[in-house]
Structures are given as structure tokens and as C-alpha cells.
Amino acid sequence: MPELPEVETVVRLIRPRLVGRTIAGARVHWTRTLGGVSPARFTRAVTGARVTRVWRRAKYAVLDLEREAAPAGFLVGHLRMTGRFHVEPPGYDPGPHLRVSLPLDDGRTFHFIDVRKFGRLWFTTRLETLLGRLGPEPLDDDFTADWLLAALRAKRRQLKPLLLDQTFLAGLGNIYVDEALHRSGLHPLRPSQRVDAAHARRLHAAIRETLTAAIAREGSSFDVFYRTPEGQPGQYQDEFRVYARAGQPCLACGTPVERLIVGQRGTHVCPTCQPPPRKRRAITRP
């Protein structure tokens, strides 16, 4: 599923095809993709606007729009599970799952394609309403090991659901949480307040290393859904240590990888490298 590395890959590839382009119109094939904005208002808002910048925050792609050299709002996309962005020349067949098309002034068209219709393409003038609650960006300088240790201790939640919570830390999804927890030797069920300083440091490093390595390989494509805007699969799935490897030997110790459900999510863990938390008996005062 598209997580931070996949969105970063997509943004890098569509950026040169979008920056400087003027949007010539809009065709909306599935209204709910717009996240509550009516097709008429959406079309009015984007038509004639010029894209000045394409960037990423967490799993969101953002296009800054300008009209007559003045800010004109933002197009914000979230691919969720099956969304894809393509910028294609005339004659390209976007297939049956096309949700929104934005023809550009150079003859190409920006397509938002999404099989499961969970993805969104919002127009907004206030970015804060969409991005304001997000936690720190894991590859930015303000995400430090010290911050992570303090933040983990301030919560009393299982590690996996906490790391999936975008208001805690922004950009991780099911794949990279499992991979980062394995790299740091932490079990997904461990309570966050019981992570010691050394493990917090390992987790901080593991999150950054996992994301950086995945970006270098253009993300992960273990199913038919995620492809780069040029139609290529990513390559990081070849380096998964636990994700989608249930029953196969842990690459570090040989123990079969287990699959369990944590917070309603399929979760992959090496029970040797990631010892499960011991149940604490209730503390009874004499």
C-alpha cells in the first residue's frame, strides 16, 4: 500500500511533468473522490490555475496552485490503498477505474486512478484542515531519538497501533511499521511506556533506515496495486524481513515468521528477535 516511500516516489516522478503547467479543466468520474467538494466547485477552483510546486507531507501529495501570480489554493491527494497518479499524453487509456482527470495546457492529462475508491483528491485553500493534525515527518531533523523516547513514554499504547497513528508520527503504514519494529527488536504489542532508551534509539534508527532504503528502491510492490507513475513496480518488497513472510525463516535467526492481528491489522513478527511482552501481574498493595 502506498506509504511514505511510495508517495515520495510518485511525487518525484510527477513533479517535472506538473510544475509550471496550467490546469485546463476537470472531469470528475466519481464524486466522492473529491472528499465533499462538489464537482462544479472543484472544477471552478482548479481550472486556469497553474501548478507552482509539488511536494509531500506524510502520505499526502500536495500541488500548490497559483492564479495570476497569486496563491489560489492547493490540490491535495491521498492514494490510500489503491490510488495512482499518472501524467500521460493524449491517447493514453486510463482504464475502468479512472476517478478524476485534469487536462493540462501541454496536451497531457493528470489522471487519478483508484480501484477501491478510498483515495481522495481534495481542493482546499486551507492546508491546515487536512495536514494540521499530523505528527512529525520521520525523515526531518525534528524527529530525533530523544523526541521519540519522550513521546513513547508519554503514551500508554501498544507500539504498532501507536506507530500507525498519523497524529503521533506521520507517514508509516502497515508494511514499514512491521519492518522497523523487526529491525529494532521490538514486539508490536509492547506497551510504548515500557520501551527503554536503547530500544527507542534503535527504533528511531530503524524507522529512518527502512524508509530511506525503501525510497531508494522506489517503494514496495508486493501486489498488483502500487506502481510508479511510469508503470514500474518498486523493488523494496525484495528486501522485506518480515512483512508478507509468514511461515518463512527470519533472515536474522531462522525462526519462522509469525502472523498475528494487532489493532485489526495483519502483523508480522519474529518471535525470537522480537520477544513478546510478558504479562504483568496486577500490583497488589499489602
Alpha carbon of 59 to those of 6, 9, 96, 156, 258: distances in Å?
A: 8, 11, 25, 25, 28
Question: How many angstroms separate the most distant Cα atoms in the chain?
Answer: 79
Q: Is 80 a catalytic residue?
A: no
| Contacting residues for 159 by C-beta, under 8 A, at least 6 apart | 152, 181, 186, 187, 188, 189, 190, 191, 192, 195
Element (H, E) at 75: strand 70-78
If one asks whether residue 3 binds DNA (CB under 7 A), the answer comes out as yes
Cβ atoms within 10 Å of 11's Cβ, excluding its own: 21
If one asks whether residue 81 binds DNA (CB under 7 A), the answer comes out as yes
Contact range with DNA by CB under 7 A, out of 100-108, 136-144, 156-164, 180-188: 156-164
Among candidate residues 157, 194, 208, 265, the one labeled active-site is 265
Nearer CB in complex with DNA: 3/8: 3
Amino acid in position 192: S
If one asks whether residue 263 binds DNA (CB under 7 A), the answer comes out as yes
If one asks whether residue 179 binds DNA (CB under 7 A), the answer comes out as no
Residues 94-123: x where in contact with DNA by CB under 7 A, - otherwise, as a string: --xx-----------------xxxx-----
Q: Is 128 a catalytic residue?
A: no
Residues belonging to the active site: 2-3, 59, 265
Which stretches of the chain bind DNA, using CB under 7 A? 1, 3, 32, 58-59, 78, 80-81, 96-97, 115-118, 133, 155-158, 161-162, 164, 166, 173-175, 224, 261, 263-266
